[in-house]
Amino acid sequence: MGMRFGLLMPHFGEHANRRALLDGAVLAESFGFDSLWVRDHLVFEPHAEMEAANITFYEALTTLSAIGAVTEKISLGTGSLVPFRHPVHLAISIATLTRLVGDRVIMGFGAGTFDHEFELVGMGDLDRVGLVRSNAEIMRRLFTEDGVSHSDDVYSFENISIDPKPTKPIPFWYCGATPRSARLAAEYADGWMPGRTTLLTIDERVKTMRELTAENGRPMPTIGVIPPTSIAATHEIAFDGLNVDGLLAWANKRGKWWVKPASGEFATAEDIEGSLIAGNPEEVVDQVKRFEEVGVEHLVFDLRLTYERWFASIELLGREVLPALR
């Protein structure tokens, strides 16, 4: 199977609306995209270098349910769910979703970025990475067993069953760019999807994961990425208004786990190659091929930088980029 392609849906910020989500989903499926993805937040805080100061946020699983109702086969992914829900409740929600939309859900999970979301629900002092593992273990059992009992430092229950259960295994992806995230994905996940990061970082993490899975006898997780993307008919339009300086500043401030260029700092657009896809269709094709070279199997275009031309971007990708890559 060749590389798969998805879209991050505009369910947040100033461009979030019913038409963009539902008509956009139908259009994407008609062009042969493989997946549609949503983010997850309890208290949405826009990223200043990439998003306008607008706190609109359509809840993740509700949004996927609506998208699933107007599409037929396209996979529906969470990139990523944050562990502030009780895993039994979440298992019921995910299992119900699979019965409503079919067996096409990819369950991406991550430890989350913002402390205030966990503090809001009284989980501010908990080990969030541990919560991700607990969620994976509990939900996998609830999806396949009856009378499940579990006890750890956070969750304790006995003899719990859910119905309906998914009819097929749901892929569990670990989302995060840190070395630890990649190691954990190799240890117990079906896929790995870092957030915004560089090709150098992806290459290093994938090599580590191949070594670890070879040692522990596990299948290599699917490698996914979700880079911010700006595509337009011309190079100039694609780069117009892009805050490259902001992306570089973010990389130097927050990208502490990224593999740094030889200079030791992120100073040019080339230094953050992979954390941004931008250009005309031909340029985008060339950039996507670079991801494939480092082992990426599933690329999700994050169009939040240019959601104002959401439908035009889907058409450009669908008509000119995807056919050139398949």
Q: Write down the domain spans for the chain.
A: 4-325
- CA distances from residue 252 to 154, 248, 260, 271 in whole angstroms, order as listed: 35, 6, 9, 11
Tell whether the model's pLDDT for residue 31 goes beyond 90.
yes
What is the full DSSP assignment across 172-194? EEEE--SHHHHHHHHHH-SEEE-
The H or E element that residue 216 is part of is helix 199-216
Determine contact, residues 81/109, Cβ cutoff 8 Å. yes
At the topology level of CATH, where does 4-325 sit? Answer: TIM Barrel (3.20.20)
Separation CA 122–CA 128 (nearest Å): 12
- HEC readout, 13-39: CCCCCHHHHHHHHHHHHHCCCCEEEEC
pLDDT in tens, 111-165: 998 899 999 999 999 999 999 999 999 999 999 999 999 999 999 999 999 999 9
Tokens standing for residue 88: 């039994």
- The number of beta carbons lying within 10 Å of the beta carbon of residue 275 is 26
User: Among candidates 266, 324, 279, which has minimal Cα distance to 306?
Assistant: 279
* Rounded-to-integer distance, Cα 22 and Cα 141, Å: 33
Give me the mean pLDDT over the 274-284 stretch: 97
pLDDT, residue 267, reads: 92
Secondary structure element (H or E) that encloses residue 289, with its range: helix 281-293
* Tokens found for residue 9: 């849906």
Q: For 147, left (φ over 0), alpha (ψ -120 to 50), or beta?
A: left
For the segment 250-258, the average pLDDT, to the nearest whole number, is 84
Q: Read off the pLDDT of residues 164-182 as tens digits, 9 standing for 90 and up.
A: 999 999 999 999 999 999 9
pLDDT the model gives residue 124: 94
**pLDDT tens digits, 260-277:** 888 888 998 889 999 999
**pTM to 2 decimal places:** 0.96
pLDDT of residue 48: 67
